[in-house]
Amino acid sequence: MEKIAARVISVLFHPLLMPTYASLLLFSIPTHFNFSLPVSYNYIVPAFVFVTTFVFPGMLMLIYLKLGFVQSLQMQGRRERVLPLFSMAIVYYLTYYLLKQGPVPTLFNFFMLGATMLVLLSLLLNYLGKISIHMVAMGGLLGTFTGLALAFHFDLRIIIYLLALAAGLTGFARLKLGAHSEAQVYSGFGLGVLVMLGLFWFV
């Protein structure tokens, strides 16, 4: 039963879904960054982000699997992570670039730029050792909203608490499935938090 729950959690908090969750959360915050936009943007932008950062990379992964570039969608080996991570970085940057052309809140464009940086850092660290991409993504999401709360004095405590809970559940799931060691889980989470917290708080 615990392994089934771990698999469900791993799917719900898949790294490719983090930009979509981030867009939904950022557009739900009642700030001056969102007030100037039409209400329809609350749905259009997350839908666009879902297609470009989840559907399209997911299709690429299926193609890589079909061609034998990866052995499974779990990408257990470090070597088979290289091409998917590189493709992910390109897709994330293109999403950032396209959104930047329209009247999308700067905060979300900044998030996509930070997410691209995290993918590239994960790709570089992949040559040194395995790291949990799930936890990099969860840490990045938590770091984003913690940084926003500190930099702009937004009351985001409920979001931060929920994200911390989700990160804990994701870490448990990755360990339960034997996908990562504790060091890989903690290092991935730490990387995500520090990079995005630094971007949104200090920059």
Boundaries of domain holding 138: 2-202
pLDDT-based confidence at residue 76 (cuts at 50, 70, 90): low
Residue 200 to residue 203: CA distance in whole angstroms? 6
Query: According to the model, what pLDDT value does residue 36 have?
Result: 63
pLDDT in tens, 19-55: 999 999 988 877 655 556 677 777 888 899 999 999 9
Domain count, the chain: 1
Share of the chain above pLDDT 70, in %: 93
* Whole-structure pTM value: 0.90
Query: According to the model, what pLDDT value does residue 101 have?
Result: 86
Whole-number average pLDDT of the chain? 87
Query: According to the model, what pLDDT value does residue 52 have?
Result: 95
pLDDT in tens, 138-173: 999 999 999 989 988 888 999 999 999 999 999 999
Buried (b) or exposed (e) across 48-77, using 16+ Cβ within 10 A? bbbebbbebbeebbeebbeeeebeeeebee
**106 exposed, middle or buried (CB, 10 Å; 0-12, 13-18, 19+)?**
exposed
